[in-house]
Amino acid sequence: MQATPDTTPALIDRFGRRVDYVRLSVTDRCDFRCVYCMSENMQFLPRAQVLTLEELYQIAAAFTALGVKRIRLTGGEPLVRKNVLSLVRMLGELDIELSLTTNGSQLPVMANDLKAAGVSRLNISLDSLDAERFHDLTRTGKLVQVLHGIEAAKQAGFERIKLNAVILKNRNDDEILSLVDFAREQGLDISFIEEMPLGVISEHSRAEAYCSSDEVKAAIEQQYTLQSTVERTGGPSKYYRMPDSNSRIGFISPHSHNFCGDCNRVRVTVEGRLLLCLGNEHSVDLRDLLRQHPGDQAILQQAIIDAMDLKPERHHFELDEDPQIIRFMNMTGG
């Protein structure tokens, strides 16, 4: 008997990697100014350059039609985008896993609505449990608000909430174990992220602040036994478990352990630039296309299919050289 051909659409790049995950940035703005992400006086985009909520939806729908199964909303801070909930409700109707990365500041008021609108997973950034230091690292953030946000997310029924922590030498590297303890107590997962050189920030030296995943792991192992697992949550995190806890510990190591070989993702900036790689500038302007051919899904989908040929094999991050990437993380969609 002849096998039925698989007609499920798929986005495959030149290296045979299947792209089934999109990170969609819904704003470049943020209520925080984290030292590694933004400079103190950021210039944000004028409104005309930013995709409308309808355009963001059109892009998400095109990716979904091409076999993408997971979309993560990010930014900037996605929850400061005006009317973001109406977009989330529209996306919640698509046949995808919808997740969101947030600094947590708006969760006290929005967690329930996000859950009801169809967000299934939340990542919440948390780099310090010391209020003063939290304020120093985020320049504007209030720790208590984020802790309330985490509690609101738990109460709303989100499962497997993951904390994201960027560890910087001499800023918060003495808090690695406290952050792990907090995740254990709260029943959360936690991923430690190596800082990436995106954008030039004059008042912050990335080379001096760099703390490798191996250093973070060694600090945790002074207290806990880490058992390697093959679990993946669709992202670049390598996960470990502790024998006496349900919390997972992940490491996202763009410098020390290159994860490009099984990269399954692309990003769309809030200007509608389809970025094929976090660490390269290869991109396609989807906004131009959307505005020239409003509502034409066929043209949009073809542009996305064609863009797969531009996805580079790997990124090259060098800490001591001038960054090749001048976009800030809030523009990239972290």
- Return residues touching ligand SAM (CB under 6 A): 30, 36-37, 74-75, 77, 101-103, 125, 164, 166, 193, 195-196, 198, 329-330, 334
- Distance, in Å, from the CA atom of 23 to the CA atom of 41, rounded to the nearest integer, reads 25
- Distance, in Å, from the CA atom of 18 to the CA atom of 72, rounded to the nearest integer, reads 17
Whose structure tokens read 């919440």? Answer: 124
Residue from 101, 25, 21 nearest 69 by CA: 21
Positions 110 through 169 that interact with ligand SF4 (CB under 6 A)? 125
Residue whose CB is nearest to ligand SAM in the complex, by number: 334
- Distance, in Å, from the CA atom of 201 to the CA atom of 168, rounded to the nearest integer, reads 15
Please, what is the Cα angle at 76 between 84 and 46, to 5 degrees? 80
Dihedral (CA of 137, 144, 174, 37) sign: negative
Whose structure tokens read 């542009």? Answer: 303
Which amino acid appears at position 300 of this protein? L
Inter-CA distances, 175 with 132, 219, 253, 322, Å: 13, 10, 19, 29
Query: Would you say 270 or 308 has its CB closer to ligand SAM?
Result: 270
User: 124, 104 in Cβ contact below 8 A?
Assistant: yes
CB of 105 to ligand SAM, least distance (A): 9
Query: Would you say 11 or 275 has its CB closer to ligand SF4?
Result: 275
Residue from 21, 85, 87 nearest 52 by CA: 87
Q: Which does 164 bind (CB under 5 to 8 A by kind): ligand SAM, ligand SF4, none?
A: ligand SAM
Size of the site for ligand SF4 (CB under 6 A): 13
CB of 65 to ligand SAM, least distance (A): 26
Query: Would you say 126 or 220 has its CB closer to ligand SAM?
Result: 126
Query: Would you say 64 or 125 has its CB closer to ligand SF4?
Result: 125
- Distance, in Å, from the CA atom of 115 to the CA atom of 156, rounded to the nearest integer, reads 7
Q: Which does 198 bind (CB under 5 to 8 A by kind): ligand SAM, ligand SF4, none?
A: ligand SAM
Which tokens is 313 given?
Answer: 């094999």
Which of 13, 20, 55, 77 forms a contact with ligand SF4 (CB under 6 A)?
77
Query: Would you say 163 or 290 has its CB closer to ligand SF4?
Result: 163
- Distance, in Å, from the CA atom of 265 to the CA atom of 22, rounded to the nearest integer, reads 6
Which of 103, 172, 247, 253 forms a contact with ligand SF4 (CB under 6 A)?
103
Which tokens is 160 given?
Answer: 């497997």
Q: Which does 175 bind (CB under 5 to 8 A by kind): ligand SF4, ligand SAM, none?
A: none
Query: Would you say 42 or 299 has its CB closer to ligand SF4?
Result: 42
In total, the chain counts a number of residues equal to 334
CA 49 to mean position of chain CA atoms: 22
User: 325, 199 in Cβ contact below 8 A?
Assistant: yes
Query: Would you say 26 or 260 has its CB closer to ligand SF4?
Result: 26
Site string for ligand SF4, 24-63 (x = CB under 6 A): ------x-xxx--xx-------------------------
Q: Which does 33 bind (CB under 5 to 8 A by kind): ligand SF4, ligand SAM, none?
A: ligand SF4
Asked whether position 76 contacts ligand SF4 by CB under 6 A, the answer is yes
Query: Would you say 17 or 327 has its CB closer to ligand SF4?
Result: 327
The residues that touch ligand SF4, with contacts defined as CB under 6 A, are 30, 32-34, 37-38, 75-77, 103, 125, 329-330
